[in-house]
Amino acid sequence: MAKSPGNDVFFMPLTELNQRLHSKEFSAVELTKAYCDRLEKLGPAYNALAHSLRKSALSHAKDVDREIKRGRLRGPLQGVPCGVKDLLDVAVAPCTWGAKPFATQKPDEDATVIKKLKNAGAILTGKLSMVELAGGGGYRYAAASLQGPGLNPWDKSRWSGGSSSGPGSAVAAGLVGFAIGSETWGSILTPSAFCGVTGLRPTYGYVSRNGAMALSWTMDKIGPMARSAADCGHILQAISGGDVDDPGSAGKSFFYGPQYQKPISEMRFGFAPSDLDRVADEESRKVFASALEVLRSLGAKMVETELPDFPYNAVASTIIGAEGSSVFEPLIADGRIDQLADQRQIAGLKAGLEIPAKDYLKAMRIRSLVQQSLAKLFSDVDVLISPSRFSVASGLNEPLDRSSLTSLKTHQRGLRDLGAAGNLAGLPALSLPCGFAGGLPLGMQLVSRPWTENSILLIGTEFQNRTDWHKRKPAID
């Protein structure tokens, strides 16, 4: 080979890594070894690494090198090192779900997503940390994790976000080429926004959850966190598809083809000016306003809108609380739940078992109305735009139930509950890095109709063609 990979490879988009492998600038083994070294050295410094998979990764890399030599090319993920949240089964490693009671749990086979990544030629170098049980029951402090609080590469006194804390830190610090996270209510978009990376929450049912820890059967989703919107599109194509082993599978496959979408100039972007009144500080407000102007410059029609009036947060909390406590009922019953790190989470999971069936069913009925109302809203707009989170990453010791919103200057609902609403309706969302406040990243989210990921990926790519926020790199210790 011409040379071993240098430090610049750690922040390259996956398409460029793949191209350099094909041009023989370095081998898959050399690239994998460099990433494994970096992940093992720096992963613990950010509490991001749950398990290194060096041995199996290097073995797979040798296979990839042989394939490339023979001209057997599998696509843009081939030879790219990646990590996955530690709620996905990998047969050669423990699957701890971020929690002490499951620290020695070992699966017998790979999750469907892992099989699809391997089939695409991606090289799994590590399992990444997460908030215990993906936050089931609710938690008050960032330390609710087997590896400790996820540390933000932009400022290690700040949180990387939950519950996909490890993937957020690892992608931001260049420890993996990309990562797979999961979201039930914000767990891809939050760490993506806090860590300054691009994250995609797919439409519910696009990606199989077979072999993944369940938190909420009707709301769990698995998706990519990466360097760019384009990277996310390539990854979703590789991991999507029907699966008879997942009852929630939609039986659909995603094809990444933003070029086949209608032009942005023919789209309608829904936004709420009142959202900016809820941003915690003036510097952040200016960042979001500037990002909105970049999106406006893409030529779409801007439409002022707001969410229909529903108790989104209460409905999402009831559904996740009831389903999550049902999932973990054996843990609660045998007392192992008391081994969790966060007292509020212990209490929350126990309380979830007491949610009456009538309250759960009422929440599900309201959820149906939410889905109907949002479908009607999307008859007037193609995409909804709002901050991914209304503030920068919180401090490690700050209680997470403290509101980051200012006192409201308006009675308008705006889009402030888009996180809960979008997850209740199973809608796709893309979080884009859009600037910094106080040296910490901020993110803007794009939300669209089910199965329209290509539209938000097209917009995201055009936004990233006009900005360089997604190319910014933290100073790594």
Decide if pLDDT at 393 tops 60.
yes
Distance (Å, whole) CA 199 – CA 180: 9
Q: What confidence tens digit (pLDDT) does each residue in 450-468 have?
A: 999 999 999 999 999 999 9
Decide if pLDDT at 23 tops 60.
yes
Task: Sketch out the chain's domains with CATH numbers.
Answer: 1-305+383-477 (3.90.1300.10)
Poorest-pLDDT segment among 8-12, 306-310, 409-413? 409-413
- Let me know if 33 is a catalytic residue: no
pLDDT-derived band at 214, boundaries 50, 70, 90: very high
Decide if pLDDT at 17 tops 50.
yes
Decide if pLDDT at 2 tops 50.
no
Annotated catalytic residue: which of 160, 165, 187, 448? 187
Q: What are the residues whose beta carbons fall under 8 Å from the beta carbon of 101, sequence distance 6 or more?
A: 331, 336, 337, 339, 340
Counting residues of the chain whose pLDDT is more than 90, the rounded percentage is 94
Q: What are the residues whose beta carbons fall under 8 Å from the beta carbon of 130, sequence distance 6 or more?
A: 50, 85, 86, 87, 97, 98, 145, 162, 163, 164, 165, 166
pLDDT-derived band at 5, boundaries 50, 70, 90: confident
Decide if pLDDT at 86 tops 70.
yes
Annotated catalytic residue: which of 33, 85, 118, 221? 85
Annotated catalytic residue: which of 52, 129, 160, 163? 163
Q: What confidence tens digit (pLDDT) does each residue in 304-355 have?
A: 999 999 999 999 999 999 999 999 999 999 999 999 999 999 999 999 999 9
Q: Which residue has tokens 């290690």? A: 156
Whole-number pLDDT of residue 403: 56
DSSP string covering 200-254: EEPPTTSB--TTB--S-TTT-EEEEEESSHHHHHHHHHHHB---TT-TT------
Q: What confidence tens digit (pLDDT) does each residue in 116-154 have?
A: 999 999 999 999 999 999 999 999 999 999 999 999 999
Whole-number pLDDT of residue 168: 98
Name the average pLDDT for the chain: 96
Span 157-166, average pLDDT: 98
Q: What are the residues whose beta carbons fall under 8 Å from the beta carbon of 325, sequence distance 6 or more?
A: 136, 137, 332, 349, 350, 351, 352, 353, 355
What are the residues facing 159 on neighbouring strands?
151
- Let me know if 85 is a catalytic residue: yes
Whole-number pLDDT of residue 407: 45
pTM for this entry: 0.97
Q: What confidence tens digit (pLDDT) does each residue in 34-49 have?
A: 999 999 999 999 999 9
Q: What confidence tens digit (pLDDT) does each residue in 165-190 have?
A: 999 999 999 999 999 999 999 999 99
Report which of residues 449 and 279 the model is more confident about: 449
Whole-number pLDDT of residue 477: 65
Span 248-277, average pLDDT: 96
- Let me know if 301 is a catalytic residue: no
On whether the CB atoms of residues 29 and 62 are closer than 8 A, the answer is: yes
Decide if pLDDT at 409 tops 60.
no
Decide if pLDDT at 365 tops 70.
yes
